Chain A
Amino acid sequence: MKLELALAALTVAVAVAGLAALVAPVITFSGGAEGWIALAGYKVVYLGEEAESGVLDKVQAVALLAGAALLLQPAVPLLSRRGRSELAAGLAALPLPAAAAVLGLIGVVEREASFVTVSNSSTTAGFTAFPAIYRAEGPARVLALLLLALAIAELALAALLYLRSPRSSELPIEVSNPP
């Protein structure tokens, strides 16, 4: 019972941490560029003009898939309680690739953010200066690492519950008495 409660708490924590990692900014900009990039969306105003990136649109689509797997997690303890321990253990494995995908996507976002630069330059026209762009790392990476840790814990707990639960084939067959 305690293990089941712990699993329920973990699945909720995985869903919350995962969704937080998706919506929390990976990078925030100030100065010449204003805005933020999260896995679930972005808004970057570069030198007064809104910027668009197809790469970040793709990141958003893959992040949506990761989010879907995480939202399914609260169903894991319910399935476990209803005797569907195989399916519960199977679903409990999903946050692991989802967390890996989130961490990978954060790397893609950071690479994309590295292009948001402005340089003061000397040309034939003279010296041109634009406001410097300051970048700050958001909490998304920390949340993604937390998600990974929680995902591992959830999988371990679900596997333990699965191993301790009676298999479907071992369940007693209900035989109704003839009238």
Chain B
Amino acid sequence: MKVSALALYALLVLLILSLLARFLPVPFGLFTVVSGSMEPSIRPLDIAVVAGRSYSVGDVVVWCTSPFFCVLHRVVEAGDGWVVTKGDANPVPDPKVPDVLVKGKVALVVPREAWLAPAGLYLAYLLVKKRREVARALSGAAALYGPLVAYMLLLLLTSLALAPGSSFSTTLKKPGVYLSRVEAVKAGERCAILIVYYLENVNLFRVLEVRVQGVEARVLEAGSKNLLAEIPEEVEDVALQKGRLNVTVAAQLTRMGRLSGSYTVFVPLREPLVRLENGSLVLENPNCFPLKVNVTWEWAERAGEMWRYEPRTYRLEREGRLRLEPPDKPYVYVTVTYRVWGVEKLVRLRVRG
């Protein structure tokens, strides 16, 4: 038997095996790659040789939902009875599929350069060699119906062989912007508002404006997913009174998008520390807002005498400390009042007597 005939038979056997693999549950087969989802490792028109069922994460497998729809992708996750694959060039993994659909592991990839050119040359050689037989065959009824039948078959086989690839419905990187968290934080000595976003396929490009209670705030830091804006002094009283602030943000996103958001930030307020230390009154403001405190000294020269009052107002700076000396009298009390969360708080201490 001639070599050319042997090669032709070998090709036919391969084709039959390849078709059988699609219809029968056999752990081998040949699959022609049609999409670029596995580029650069596997390219369109490469031939993948599937052999053996055992595979693990990282292996390339072929799974088929029908004889006409097969997917050749890499295993990224495997569980009990299911497997998740992903094309190397795809941004997202495929849906979870039952592992019974997996035809097998790709054992060998024949590059397109290795088979396209020899196959074309062989076909041309056959045509030239058998030109008389071809010419004879293309006469009479065969000539009339042959081209149409052959062409229809070719169209049908091509449509079936080319498994549908990933669609725009899954490959388009649609942007999504969500709020991850918004909170008041310390930025140096001042209070600032930190806003962190959860972004899909998009980033913050430029912060156009941040307003706190309607007052424009200075942006201290703007990253691709977060921004830090200083709380303006004008609204610090509001923060102390209400314990929360309204923030509005206008920003430009990458990919030509715009974001306008409005959020409520709860301000973590702590009460000031009021205590006596070696006979002196010590006031400490742990907050990053200045605090107004009213201190009223009450004193009397002797027991039974009318109490005298000496009220004073102080501004306790951010994280500030104030030490006040009491009047030099034998009977002294002090009352400290301040407003936090909109509620007036009172602390009364006996200093002397």
Task: Report whether chain A binds chain B.
Answer: yes
User: Chain A: residues with CB nearer than 8 A to chain B?
Assistant: 32, 44, 46-49, 51-55, 57-58, 61-62, 65-66, 69, 84, 86-87, 89-91, 93-94, 97-98, 101, 112-113, 115-116, 118, 121, 123-131, 162, 168-169
Given contacts A93-B147, A94-B147, contact A125 B256 (CB under 8 A): no
A90 to chain B, nearest CB (A): 4
Report yes or no: A87 in contact with B147, Cβ–Cβ below 8 A.
yes
B residues in contact with A61, CB < 8 Å: 34, 158, 162
* 5 tightest Cβ-Cβ pairs between the two chains A and B: A54-B165, A126-B261, A54-B35, A86-B143, A115-B168
Question: B139, B151, B158, B173: which has the most chain A beta carbons within 10 Å?
Answer: B151
Given contacts A54-B166, A58-B165, A124-B178, contact A129 B258 (CB under 8 A): yes
Partner of A90, one of B143, B171, B197: B143
Given contacts A90-B146, A116-B172, A123-B176, contact A55 B167 (CB under 8 A): yes
User: Chain B: residues with CB nearer than 8 A to chain A?
Assistant: 34-37, 44, 138-141, 143-148, 151-152, 154-155, 158-159, 162, 164-169, 171-179, 197-198, 249, 253-263
Report yes or no: B151 in contact with A46, Cβ–Cβ below 8 A.
no
Question: B44, B165, B198: which has the most chain A beta carbons within 10 Å?
Answer: B165
B249 to chain A, nearest CB (A): 7
Report yes or no: B172 in contact with A115, Cβ–Cβ below 8 A.
yes
A51 to chain B, nearest CB (A): 6
Main SS class of interface, B: mixed
Report yes or no: A87 in contact with B171, Cβ–Cβ below 8 A.
no
Report yes or no: B177 in contact with A86, Cβ–Cβ below 8 A.
no
Give the docked Cα–Cα distance between A126 and B144 (Å).
67
A75 to chain B, nearest CB (A): 11
Partner of A62, one of B35, B159, B179: B159
Partner of A32, one of B197, B256, B262: B256
Partner of A52, one of B36, B144, B159: B36
B175 to chain A, nearest CB (A): 7
Give the docked Cα–Cα distance between A44 and B171 (Å).
12
Minimum CB distance partner of B157 in chain A: A65
Give the docked Cα–Cα distance between A47 and B262 (Å).
25
B163 to chain A, nearest CB (A): 8
Report yes or no: B34 in contact with A123, Cβ–Cβ below 8 A.
no
Given contacts A125-B179, A126-B262, A168-B139, contact A90 B147 (CB under 8 A): yes
Give the docked Cα–Cα distance between A98 and B177 (Å).
45
A residues in contact with B263, CB < 8 Å: 126
A residues in contact with B158, CB < 8 Å: 61-62, 65
Report yes or no: A84 in contact with B177, Cβ–Cβ below 8 A.
no
A62 to chain B, nearest CB (A): 6
Partner of A55, one of B152, B164, B179, B198: B164
6 A-B contacts (beta carbon < 8 Å): A49-B255, A84-B139, A112-B167, A125-B178, A128-B175, A129-B259
Report yes or no: B141 in contact with A86, Cβ–Cβ below 8 A.
yes
A residues in contact with B256, CB < 8 Å: 32, 47-48, 130-131
